Structure 1
Amino acid sequence: MQETRLNTARIRAARRVIDPVFLDTPLYRCEALEPALGCTVSIKLETANPVRSFKARGTEVVACLLADHGPRAVVCASAGNLGQALAWSGRGRGLDVTVVASRFATAAKLARIRALDATLELVDGDHEMARERAVAIARHDGIRLVEDSLDIETCEGAATIGLELVDTVPSFDTVMIALGGGALATGVGHVVKALAPEVEVICVQPRGAPAMTRSWHVRRVVTTDSTDTIADGVAGRCPIPAVLDDLLVVADDAVLVQETSIIAGMRLLLDHAGLVVEPSAALGIAAILEDPARFAGRHAVTIVCGSNVDMDVYHRWVGR
């Protein structure tokens, strides 16, 4: 495999510093989903932990390094899940955590960040504006800036999911990964291509937030002026060049799905797996729904990456 910024030995080492509560998450074949999807489906459930998303795998690595060697204060921009995870990891290690987010972010995510004792600053714009503000705070205060997907710890923490997949799932031939900033996709993709290269790595993004997928297809950074999707966790406009370079090495395909398919995927996961998930977590199911012929007869693993939703909005989406 071509080189990426990631290192498999460091990924294995990351497991030793991540709180075990975030490791070895449930992984099982969900036969109830299969009649609707026309293929074998296994679920990697990254919501069964205290922050209800995969993000803490990366923030645990970041916080461990800072607690041992770095500044005691840290700031990040977040759509909600990274901020919640960094707040959890930082609180456990005595770090002063500031999270910058859009005031239009999911209210449940913002409330949880506050509950975890982080300082929350809101901006009147989208995630890219929050990122700009976090950069300014880090420079002004001289503290550590955590940039999701750019900071290798966030990718290598997420990559521990890949170790668990290749160690435990028999005979799967496809892994479906939500694509936003790229930490999850490049992390899991790196491990899968290094240890199970025959497995197809498919990244999935909403049509309303297509920047990284468009960039992958043309092999250069493509930005967008705006996003329009309910999948707020993957709604970036400005791909990071170094992350795109890694994605070009590890991803076999990147596809876009419609909002109606995302909602249908959320509804299927509720009805047939008993799972309440945020839109980003249903992207893999949405991709199978939109192209069933491609997946017929295959065994796909989908990573259910987050379940932080406002329940009133969720019920409007799924019609419950």
Structure 2
Amino acid sequence: MDLTLNYKTATTRLSGVINRTPLVYHPRLSEKYACHVYLKREDLQLVRSYKLRGAYNMVSSLSDDQLKRGVVCASAGNHAQGFAYSCNKLSVKGVVFMPEITPKQKVTQTTMFGNGQIEIVLVGDTFDDCLKEALAYTAANNMTFIPPFDDYRVIEGQGTVGVEILEDQPDIDIVVIPIGGGGLAAGVGNYLKSENPAIKILGVEPAGAPSMTEALKAEQPVTLSEINRFVDGAAVKRIGELTFPLCKEILEKVILVPEGKVCTNILKLYNEDAIVVEPAGALSVAALDFCKEDIKGKTVVCIISGGNNDIDRMAEIKELSLLYEGLKHYFIVRFPQRPGALKLFVNEVLGPHDDITRFEFIKKTERERGPALVGIELHKAEDYDALLSRMRQHRFDFKEVNTDQTLFEYLI
């Protein structure tokens, strides 16, 4: 199937339904990376992500009989919102399956966009878990399944992001696209390549969920046994069967970005640009540090895929950012049994700009003589070695918790 034949049709079908999101030049990023950086702001879409495009394009293409029987989807949140909006717009009954860990904000938004046309079922720990339940329900009730990425009509809908990019900025060299199941990269990448083969497509995945990376190594989709679910909009155990061959054909490379780096960029975009992005939405900008030489002197578009970030997650986002940047460290400290040891630690061990962010004795008995869990936030990452040196100099017995993953997960 030649998908390039249908992108214009999808654009027409979506006209009047979606927002045509802006392509915005970003001076700070452009200066930092010595290139011309534009942000495609899909966080400003009606449902605050690009997912509405694919969902509506597929649902609106169904037959009257299929629409009458109803539709089902499985989603980590953004596809669900686009699906719900489509059901309401077309007056179709829909059932949404979402993982139990889906942020409350996304559940609430999905309910709002559905406006009484949908039912929500929370099941499983990952997208892949709830997908199995959704497919079984679809078959049992003779309904139509609307996948989040693995259908040509969904891919075509997501590809309309590329149509808008090229219309707004014809002279682009590189497009950086987040990858979860691969629908956005497949659609946008194939459209852009069909219009201008010289455009390079860089895919970005969270380091903890490298489904496309592993599929490229194996030359076929593989199911990951474990994933880090933090970047929930892109944390997929298995890349799509349809999206994989399309992505394989057009991807220049896939960049893996640590979750902590994603968090740093969420905070930067919020604090410096007043842009609210979810973890998956920050992937493309977070990837720029890992492809500096590729983009130097080029015109680059980063797709900001979504802005559905639950405010309840901000404390976790800040913590992960500080840990990744080397600014937050945890220790188990056994204070010397001598008067003034704690005062000595505060006055002589901590640097002038260091701050104790957590302090608790671990033992329930002999609290004041037992080991303590101490969290320290540094002013600069380079101050860490000096902190360790001062602890040793003043004869404090300590263990670094950050370097012991099991201990860190247990205590922090």
Partner residue of 2:262? 262
2:104 paired residue number: 107
1:228 matched to which residue of 2? 228
Give me the whole-angstrom Cα distance separating, in 1, the residues matched to 2:180 and 2:262.
15
Tell me if 1:304 matches 2:304. yes
Q: What are the within-5 Å matches in structure 2 for residues 6-21 of structure 1?
A: 6-21=2-17
Q: Deviations over 1:214-266 (max 9, x none)?
A: 21243222221121142101111022322211111121211211112211221
Of 25, 29, 41, the match for 2:25: 29
- Is the contact between residue 151 and residue 242 of structure 2 (CA under 8 Å) also seen in structure 1? no
2:185 is aligned with 1:185:
yes
**Is residue 2:55 matched to residue 1:59?**
yes
| Distance in 2 separating the partners of 1:56 and 1:258 | 27
Once the two structures are superposed, what CA deviation does each residue of 1:150-180 show, in whole Å capped at 9, x if it has no partner? 1111100010111111222142210000001
RMSD: 1.8
Deviating 4+ runs (over 4 angstroms): none
Does residue 46 (structure 1) correspond to residue 42 (structure 2)? The answer is yes
* Matches of 1:295 and 1:218, distance apart in 2: 28
**Counterpart of 1:203 in 2: which secondary structure?**
strand
Offset of residue 193 of structure 1 = 0.6
* SS of residue matched to 1:204: strand
* Residues 175-214 of structure 1 mapped to structure 2, 5 A cutoff: 175-214=175-214
- CA drift at 1:316: 4.1
Secondary structure of 2:308 counterpart: coil
Q: Is the 8 A contact 1:216 1:247 kept in 2?
A: no
The match for 2:367 is: none
- Give me the whole-angstrom Cα distance separating, in 1, the residues matched to 2:64 and 2:23: 33
Question: Please, which moves more after superposition, 302-311 or 161-170?
Answer: 161-170
**Cα–Cα, structure 1 residues 21 and 29, in superposed 2: closer, same or farther, change >3 Å?**
farther
Alpha carbons of structure 1 residues 33 and 272: separation in structure 2 relative to 1, 3 Å: farther
**Structure 1 contact 266–318 (Cα < 8 Å) conserved:** no
Counterpart AA for 1:64:
S
Task: Specify the alignment match of 1:162 in structure 2.
Answer: 162
Which protein, 1 or 2, shows the higher relative CO under an 8 Å CA cutoff with sep ≥ 6?
1
Q: Which residue of 2 aligns with 1:283?
A: 283
Larger mean Cα displacement after TM superposition, 199-208 or 307-316: 307-316
SS at match of 2:307: coil
1:93 equivalenced with 2:90 (yes/no): yes
Q: CA deviation at 1:21?
A: 4.7
Is the counterpart of residue 238 in structure 1 residue 238 in structure 2? yes
- Is the 8 Å Cα contact of residues 59 and 146 (structure 2) preserved in structure 1? no
Compute the displacement of 1:50 (Å). Answer: 2.2
Distance 1:84 1:119, change over 3 A: same
211-220 or 39-48, which deviates more: 211-220
C-alpha separation in 2, matches of 1:260 and 1:93? 40
- Identical pairs, percent: 28
Tell me, yes or no, if the aligned pair for 1:53 and 1:81 is still in contact at 8 Å: yes
Rate the CA distance shift 1:261–1:6 in 2: closer, same or farther, 3 A. Answer: farther
Query: What stretches of structure 2 of length at least 5 have no aligned partner?
Result: 322-412
Counterpart secondary structure, 2:67: coil
Letter in 2 for 1:262: V
Q: What CA distance in whole angstroms lies between the structure 2 residues aligned with 1:172 and 1:137?
A: 44
* Structure with bigger gyration radius: 2
Q: For 1:318 and 1:37, how far apart are their aligned partners in 2?
A: 24
Q: Decide whether the 8 Å contact of 1:14 with 1:157 is kept in 2.
A: yes
Q: Secondary structure at the match of 2:282?
A: helix
Per-residue deviation at 1:78?
0.2
Deviation, 1:68, is 4.3
Summarize the Cα distance change of 1:229–1:141 in structure 2 as closer, same or farther, 3 Å threshold.
closer
How many Å apart are 1:298 and its aligned residue?
A: 2.0
Label 1:80 to 1:6 Cα distance change in 2 as closer, same or farther (>3 A). farther
Counterpart check, 1:295 vs 2:331: no
Map Cα deviations across residues 2-22 of structure 1 (whole Å, 9 max, x no partner). Answer: xxx452221101112114352
**1:102-141 deviations in Å (ceiling 9; x for gaps):** 1101111111112223200011321101100010001100
CA distance in 2, matches of 1:185, 1:64: 22
Q: Using a 3 Å threshold, how does the CA distance of structure 1 residues 84 and 270 change in structure 2: closer, same or farther?
A: same
Counterpart of 1:90, as a letter, is C
TM score, norm. by length of structure 1: 0.93
Size of the alignment, in residue pairs? Answer: 316
SS of the residue corresponding to residue 62 of structure 2 reads: helix
User: What runs of 5+ residues in structure 1 fail to find an aligned partner?
Assistant: none
2-side partners of 1:268 and 1:37: how far apart?
15
Q: Contact 1:217–1:254 at 8 Å: present in 2 too? A: no
Partner of 2:370: none
